[in-house]
A = this chain, B = another copy of it.
Amino acid sequence: MARNIDGTEISRVMRAEMAQQVADLQAQGVTPGLSVVLVGNNPASQAYVSSKTRACETLGMKGQTLHLPEDVSTEDLFAAIDRLNADASVHGILVQLPLPAHLPYKAVLEHIHPDKDVDGFHPRNAGLAFVGDPRAFVPCTPAGILEMLRREDIPTRGKHVVIVGRSLIVSKPLASLLMAPGPDATVTITHRHTPDLASFTRQADILIVAVGKQNLITADMVKPGVVVIDVGQNRVEDPGSPRGYRMVGDVDFDAVSQVAQAITPVPGGVGPMTITMLLANTIQSARQALQARAP
């Protein structure tokens, strides 16, 4: 029976460490600050944003939301980002996605100063991360997965990591990080055009699934002893639950747990790590701002 990799508990430990780092920075006169730009009134986005700013405050950081109307113009949104770029008390800027369709989201993300791009979506950060530069802000989900593996003492060197999915914000940065010197994994990236997916997933020592398709990975598709990281977030109807639905991942959790060595649950696996890494990136940005200021 697989061990559960408990993202909530790992996050709790990390956030306790980070509260100390925040206190140390405050002693040097800097309070790490995150500004979240929220456009419109999408309820899911509002919930995400408030959980991000609340998490900041719990650690003693400054978390603020800049709420703009649904019909904000590109120019006004750029001007708002410019003000945050110029504000020395703001170390991290995040534009909550999705944006309304009239806004050019790529140009918006590129408008954030790369030194404050704690989501790691600016091409400069993608490039720095690609070449393994430590100044890069690594996107939060891949960074969280690496941190989980590290803290769970799951070695990656010489292991075969198979990634299902090829998204720009999860799978591609993960592949780049895991194959690099240090992690030293052999990495295979599979996707919708991979014939006989199971022939690849069965080779995995570590299987990372980030597609968004319930029960994509079944027990017969994995090798006994595999470590499974499930990044999927799928809503399934559940009349018994107060909200009428519950969240599941891309992996048939109950069946795969019988075969795997360790597995992340959904919810409570990768999810909590993502916000934790956002906080970590904001603290890193505050530290870099402090160092840049030093004589």
- Residues on A lying within 8 angstroms of B by beta carbon are 122-128, 130-133, 157-158, 166, 168, 172, 175-176, 179-180, 184-191, 193-195, 200
CB A159 to nearest CB in B, in angstroms, measures: 9
| Chain B residues closer than 8 Å to A191, beta-carbon distance | 179, 184, 186
Contact of A158 with B124 in the complex, beta carbons under 8 Å: no
Other than the known A179-B191, A186-B188, what 11 A-B pairs have Cβ atoms closer than 8 Å?
A: A122-B127, A123-B124, A126-B127, A127-B128, A130-B176, A157-B193, A158-B194, A186-B189, A186-B191, A186-B194, A187-B189
| Chain B residues closer than 8 Å to A158, beta-carbon distance | 193-195
Q: Determine how many copies of this chain the complex contains.
A: 2
Contact of B127 with A133 in the complex, beta carbons under 8 Å: no
**What separation, in Å, do the CA atoms of A195 and B127 have in the docked complex?**
29
**What separation, in Å, do the CA atoms of A107 and B214 have in the docked complex?**
46
Contact of B186 with A190 in the complex, beta carbons under 8 Å: yes
A156: nearest chain-B partner, CB-CB: B193
CB A292 to nearest CB in B, in angstroms, measures: 16
Q: Mind listing 8 A-B residue pairs with CB under 8 Å?
A: A123-B124, A123-B128, A130-B130, A157-B193, A166-B179, A179-B191, A186-B189, A187-B189
